[in-house]
Amino acid sequence: EKDGFDHYMLKEIYEQPRAYRETLQNRIDHENNKVDLSKEISLTPEEIRSLDKIHIVACGTAYHAGLVGKYVIENLVRVPVEVDVASEYRYRNPIITDKTLVMVISQSGETADTLAALREAQKRDAKVLAITNVNGSSVARDADEVLLTHAGPEIAVASTKAYTSQLIAIYLLGLYLAQIRGTQEDTVIANYLQAIKELPAQADKLLEFAPTMKQFAERYAHYEDLFFIGRSLDYAVSLEGSLKLKEISYVHSEAYPAGELKHGTLALITDGVPVIALATQEDIYDKMVSNIKEVKARDAYVLGIGLEGDQELAKSVDEVIAIPKTLPLLTPALSVIPLQLLAYYAALARGNDVDKPRNLAKSVTVE
Ligand code: M6R
């Protein structure tokens, strides 16, 4: 069933282009350049227009997808979004009204804390929209609205295609809400749709970096610590890269907002410490490059993740991975792929059980 791959995780990484296509299928009105979720989501235009805030609640990797969701929805829809880890949210007495949309994200739809947060939100009159990969799961059954990801079954404990499919679902939802609330011009929506349709082929192209990531992983898998740095969406993706690495390779790593380095973590950057620096966001690119120079000045070994066509980044880092160009909000669906490959090959280099890391379960059904 692994289709010739050594592990489910690698198979699932390679299934991502297909998962993107399937999650997009039947949700785009190609003729009118619009997202159409009206067959799946029953929130009325009035209800959508009356929302005054959105809470995104999830655990682990799904929480990281939610962090990307905050940028996407705030930018496209201009509604304030808060993102919480489910085990925190359910106990923090959140401020919820009937104008709050609570979005829960869960691959399995069975995560105990996410399910409890969903119920807590419903008790307080919020409408709950679930993004889940499993139709008929507890989360899908209890939520008021369900937007399915069509990633197909995910077997490896480390989530890969579920995360990126969650991003695709979030992009569609963000555009749909923007259409109804009139916060983006038609041409902007059309541009996004054009770019989204290119993501599967671009993701495919990124898989070609597998040998580069393998080489890097083999060289650094025996280090004690590794750092991921980035700003804005690149920071959100860094968190996911760091979780993936810890989870299956057991290498300690930290993701840091690059601008925060000077406030403490820079003390840990010394000769040869591996740093993965994401620099895909054009609006804060210059700031990011100056942060990269700060770590280089401490003799870190820097792998830069930048955009294709960027001639500058190579001058400040030791190695570069070039991500195909897309719109800034969509970049996470691409930039995470080399990080997934890095985690996979690091786990392999350390002789770990890639698909079943120690102490972890695929679905956490206890609190
Ligand atoms: O099934 P869920 O999406 O609710 O699971 C949430 C987390 O347990 C899950 O994403 C976990 O963090 C993964 N093992 C990460 O790879």
- pLDDT tens string for the chain (367 positions)? 899 999 999 999 999 999 999 999 999 999 999 999 999 999 999 999 999 999 999 999 999 999 999 999 999 999 999 999 999 998 999 999 999 999 999 999 999 999 999 999 999 999 999 999 999 999 999 999 999 999 999 999 999 999 999 999 999 999 999 999 999 999 999 999 999 999 999 999 999 999 999 999 999 988 989 999 999 999 999 999 999 999 999 999 999 999 999 999 999 999 999 999 999 999 999 999 999 999 999 999 999 999 999 999 999 999 999 999 999 999 999 999 999 999 999 999 999 999 999 999 898 988 8
pLDDT of residue 148: 98
Q: Ligand 1: does its nearest atom lie under 6 Å from the Cβ of 247?
A: yes
pLDDT of residue 1: 86
- Separation between Cα atoms, residue 259 and residue 80, nearest integer Å: 23
Rounded to 10°, the helix 186-206/332-349 angle is: 20
Q: Which residues, 6 or more positions from 315, have their beta carbon under 8 angstroms from its beta carbon?
A: none
Instruction: Give the pLDDT confidence of 348-363 residue by residue, as tens digits.
Output: 999 999 999 999 989 8
Fill in the amino acid letter for 312: E
pLDDT of residue 196: 98
Of 244, 261, 262, nearest to 253 (Cα)?
A: 244
Cβ atoms of 128 and 106 within 8 Å: the answer is no
Instruction: Give the pLDDT confidence of 239-283 residue by residue, as tens digits.
Output: 999 999 999 999 999 999 999 999 999 999 999 999 999 999 999
**Element (DSSP H or E) covering residue 341:** helix 332-349
**Element (DSSP H or E) covering residue 226:** strand 225-230
Q: Ligand 1: does its nearest atom lie under 6 Å from the Cβ of 239?
A: no
Cβ atoms of 114 and 83 within 8 Å: the answer is no
What is the whole-number distance in angstroms between the Cα of residue 131 and the centre of ligand 1? Answer: 13
Exposed/middle/buried for 34, CB within 10 Å: 0-12, 13-18, 19+?
Answer: middle
Predicted complex ipTM: 0.99
pLDDT of residue 367: 85
- Reported pTM: 0.98
- Separation between Cα atoms, residue 97 and residue 150, nearest integer Å: 31
What is the whole-number distance in angstroms between the Cα of residue 325 and the centre of ligand 1? Answer: 29
Q: Ligand 1: does its nearest atom lie under 6 Å from the Cβ of 234?
A: no
Q: Nearest residue CA, atom 9 of ligand 1?
A: 60
pLDDT of residue 103: 98
Backbone angles phi, psi at 299, to 5 degrees: 70, 25
What single DSSP character describes residue 325? P
What is the whole-number distance in angstroms between the Cα of residue 162 and the centre of ligand 1? Answer: 9
Q: Ligand 1: does its nearest atom lie under 6 Å from the Cβ of 62?
A: yes
